[in-house]
């Protein structure tokens, strides 16, 4: 790959980041690790009945219109991360074509309870397979989920 090609590709990435920042000015979309998380948060804010926090917090990223707190995670990989137990956890798998899939939508306690015997649960950032999180999410009653926007 030539330097010119790298420059062109980076220009496209930063052009896209600029467009996202114009639409969602309260998110930074930094390319050094937060970009995927920020994209997950704006997807959640667009599709679900939540309001994103203006300032990042350690455990929660948003609140529902009913006041419930939500942690939002996103990945391009086959696993999502989990550390402390949030009130509600909304996890997405992102795809390169711009589509996404909801992997988990429900109380964080369900994930914690399933993995309670795993070393480090609730203490350090752990990765959990999307396939298992999808199975856990399938059993969550609708009234315990983050609701979609009308």
pLDDT in tens, 69-78: 999 999 999 9
Q: What's the pLDDT at 22?
A: 92
Percent of the chain whose pLDDT exceeds 70: 96
If DSSP codes are grouped into helix, strand and coil, which group holds residue 49? coil
Phi and psi dihedrals of 16, rounded to 5?
A: -65, -40
- pLDDT at 114 > cutoff 80: yes
Contacts of 100 (CB under 8 A, 6+ apart): 43, 74, 92, 93, 94
CATH 3.40.1350 fits 33-141, yes or no: yes
**Domain residue spans in the chain?**
33-141
pTM of the entire structure?
0.84
Confidence of residue 61 (pLDDT cuts 50, 70, 90): very high
- pLDDT at 2 > cutoff 70: no
Of 31, 15, 67, 65, nearest in space to 45 by CA: 65
Of 86, 91, 89, 82, nearest in space to 120 by CA: 82
**Which residue's structure tokens are 């429900």?**
106
Mean pLDDT of 6-11: 78
Across 38-142, where does the E strand assignment appear? 50-52, 62-64, 69-75, 79-82, 88-94, 100-107, 126-129
Q: What is the DSSP letter of 86?
A: -
Q: What's the pLDDT at 48?
A: 97
């Amino acid at each position: 790959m030539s330097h010119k090609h790298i420059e062109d590709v980076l220009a496209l990435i930063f052009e896209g980041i600029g467009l996202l920042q114009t639409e969602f000015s309260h998110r930074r979309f930094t390319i050094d690790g937060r970009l995927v998380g920020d994209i997950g948060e704006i997807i959640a804010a667009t599709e679900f009945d939540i309001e994103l926090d203006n300032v990042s917090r350690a455990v929660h990223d948003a609140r529902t219109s009913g006041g419930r707190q939500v942690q939002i995670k996103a990945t391009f990989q086959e696993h999502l991360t989990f550390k402390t137990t949030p009130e509600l956890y909304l996890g997405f798998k992102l795809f390169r074509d711009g589509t996404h899939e909801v992997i988990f939508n429900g109380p964080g306690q369900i994930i914690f309870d399933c993995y309670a015997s795993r070393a480090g649960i609730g203490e350090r950032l752990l990765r959990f397979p999307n396939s298992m999180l999808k199975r856990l999410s399938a059993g969550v009653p609708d009234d315990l989920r983050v609701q979609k926007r009308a």
